[in-house]
Amino acid sequence: MPTFPVDVPKVRVIKPLERLGFRLIREGPHLAMMRDNPDGTQTSLTIPNHSDIRGSTLRTICVQASIARDEFLKAYEET
């Protein structure tokens, strides 16, 4: 199993999330992303707008969005 990314450029975080159905809504001190779920609900994410995202922050983002580790890593490797 691939290791979880550490200190990743912001773009390398946004692209896999977009592959998982999230879209960028707002960009300021934080990035706001939203995903429309099949059951009609929405899942929102808030990501710090830093040049690099720490691994611990990235894990927290995945937990917040209910994204499984393997699911994120697969999308991350495809970008």
Domain, as residue range, for 70: 8-78
Q: Which two tokens stand for residue 15?
A: 């692209």
pLDDT the model gives residue 1? 59
CATH number (domain holding residue 26): 3.30.920.30
| pLDDT tens column, 21-33 | 999 999 999 999 9
The model's pTM: 0.90
Domain-located, residue 2: no
- Compute the radius of gyration of the chain from its Cα atoms: 12
| pLDDT tens column, 25-78 | 999 999 999 999 999 999 999 999 999 999 999 999 999 999 999 999 999 999
Is the pLDDT score of 2 beyond 80?
Answer: no
Domain-located, residue 1: no
Are the CB atoms for 20 and 12 separated by under 8 Å? no
SS3 state at 8: strand
